[in-house]
A and B are shown apart, each in its own frame.
Chain A
């Protein structure tokens, strides 16, 4: 089981902030493909991953990062702090 979190407009498009899912995805990209195949709102939200960032266990990473042992994956648009 893995916790998947969504922030900002991605959270709004998908319609929830967090969900716990059962997945056998080996990489972040595999997980994205799995999510996008679920429902239209996921497909739309993940239609352009160049507009998204990902963190695995609260560390920024790339979409080809492995998910082995990961407990939490978060997807979000580029950050706007400061």
Chain B
């Protein structure tokens, strides 16, 4: 299990290759990448604030729960903070298991939880000012299925 909270960009392809190489004996690897999306067409950059200390603890707790609930060989969470442009990678999760069902479900669980339970806040900076991204009720509702 590896958790990384970092400002600098990362290469999802290289991370996934390294993760797969470490997940010895796993027959399935699932990965998800989150990318800065510009819905308004006016976004210049996104700034992600976080709560140093709590962020790492929350991600560890969420990943640990995934390891306990599913039969996983390994799990990886990388989440960035700071300033990024549309198209840049914000975060990725990867899960490895013997069979694909565990890896898929655990990856979805990780995503659902870190959307609403990891202390990150996104702010969009655009040509028409700045605005905090509001949390969505559907993201909160998504936790109920677990």
CB distance from B120 to the nearest CB of A (A): 4
In the complex with contacts A79-B116, A79-B117, A81-B115, A58-B79 CB distance below 8 A: no
Contact A55 B119 (CB under 8 A): yes
Interface string of B79-103 (1 = CB under 8 A from A): 1000000000011000000000000
Verify A9–B120 contact, CB threshold 8 A: no
List the A side residues contacting B51 at CB < 8 Å. 5, 7, 55, 58, 74, 76
Chain A residue contacts of B119, Cβ below 8 A: 7, 55, 74, 76, 79, 81
Residues B54 and A79 in contact, CB atoms below 8 Å apart:
no
B67 cross-chain contacts in A, Cβ below 8 A: none
Q: State whether A78 touches B135 (Cβ < 8 A).
A: yes
**Residue from A5, A59, A79 within 8 A of B118 (CB atoms):** A79
- Of residues 1 through 45 on chain A, the ones whose CB sits less than 8 Å from some CB of chain B are 5, 7-9, 11
Structural contact, B116 and A9, CB atoms closer than 8 A:
no
Residues of B within 8 A of A7 (CB): 49, 51, 119, 121
B34 at the interface (CB under 8 A from A): yes
Q: Nearest chain-B residue to A55 (Cβ)?
A: B54
Q: Give B65-81 interface residues, CB cut-off 8 Å to A.
A: 79
Query: Interface residues of B: mostly helix, strand, loop or mixed?
Result: mixed
With CB as the reference atom, state the residue of chain A lying closest to B32.
A82
Query: Contact residue range for chain B?
Result: 20 to 34
Complex CA distance for A58 and B53, rounded to whole angstroms: 7
Q: Which of A42-65 contact B (CB under 8 A)?
A: 55, 58-60
Specify which of A58, A59, A77 lies most central, judged by the most chain B CB atoms within 10 Å of its CB. A58
B35-71, CB under 8 A of A: which get 1 and which 0?
0000000000000010101100110000000000000
6 A-B residue pairings within 8 Å (CB atoms)? A7-B119, A60-B117, A78-B135, A80-B122, A81-B91, A81-B116
Given contacts A77-B121, A81-B120, 11 further A-B contacts (CB under 8 A): A7-B119, A8-B49, A55-B119, A76-B121, A78-B140, A79-B116, A80-B115, A80-B134, A81-B79, A81-B117, A82-B118
